[in-house]
Structure 1
């Protein structure tokens, strides 16, 4: 009829269970889809002595779907998808229709680059950008004569 667990222990277990439930409700892994930016894509950036290499994962996009712009020291990569898949039966009725629309964009602050030297290549769903740095000018010493 009565539990043989001491009252204090049962309260601790109840509190522990409530705390565990609360923590599970706000677990970062469970909420990861809510925290992630669904309008972005993964990138890797490497710096070399001569420039930067950006690799952006854009599976399923063609080069016509991707725009790359440099403006006011910001490099913007934008990919748009407008895909419609329809299946029709022999009478022409649609039995399944799926649509994928969206725009994905990333912006990077780039200073001291040669904008005209940027090269882009899309292969196997990975966009590779080779961005050369501007040549650093060595400081010069100039003696000024006095009149």
Structure 2
């Protein structure tokens, strides 16, 4: 009843056990990407007008729950949702299904040419929008080739 997917509501428990088992055997490098995908959020990145535009879906988060950090060359978006204290179950109220996730949700992006001082962020209706201007990179120079055509 109310189950989805091949593992139903136990999928997260199964994943956590697999990640723990194989993570202990093969190291964090093995389990890290799986854990990151399981505890992440959807993001779109566009490039236009000399800027990057990032849109991240973070429904239910308040701006105080979200931290955006740019430490060259990585942009990190971190959102934390604290688990609500569970009310004691009673004869009248019984949890049939709980799909909301709690914990830390993190995405990290490699953006080498971001202008750190010009980054702007806004949050509206669960959509985090970042405007990231590119900085001019004087280290990049086009070399003209001399000689015959």
TM range (shorter): 0.5 to 0.7
CA shift for structure 1 position 83: 3.6
- Runs of 4 or more above 4 Å deviation: 33-36, 85-89, 95-100, 136-139
Alpha carbon RMSD of aligned pairs, Å?
Answer: 3.5
Provide structure 2 residue ranges, at least 5 long, that are not aligned to the other structure.
Answer: 16-33, 142-149
The TM-score with structure 2 as length reference comes to 0.59
Q: Flag the structure with higher helix content.
A: 2
TM-score (norm 1): 0.60
Structure 2: distance between partners of 1:112 and 1:88: 51
Quote the residue 2:61 is aligned against.
61
Quickly say closer, same or farther: Cα 1:108–1:100, change in 2 above 3 A: closer
- 2:76 aligns with 76
The CA deviation string for residues 95-120 of structure 1, in whole angstroms up to 9 with x for no partner, is: 56888531100000011111010000
Higher strand share: 1
Paired with 1:71 and 1:134, the residues of 2 have a C-alpha distance of 14
Distance 1:130 1:58 in 2: 17
Q: Which runs of 5+ in 1 are unaligned?
A: 1-28, 90-94, 140-147
Structure 2 counterpart of 1:110: 111
Find the structure with the greater CA-based Rg: 1
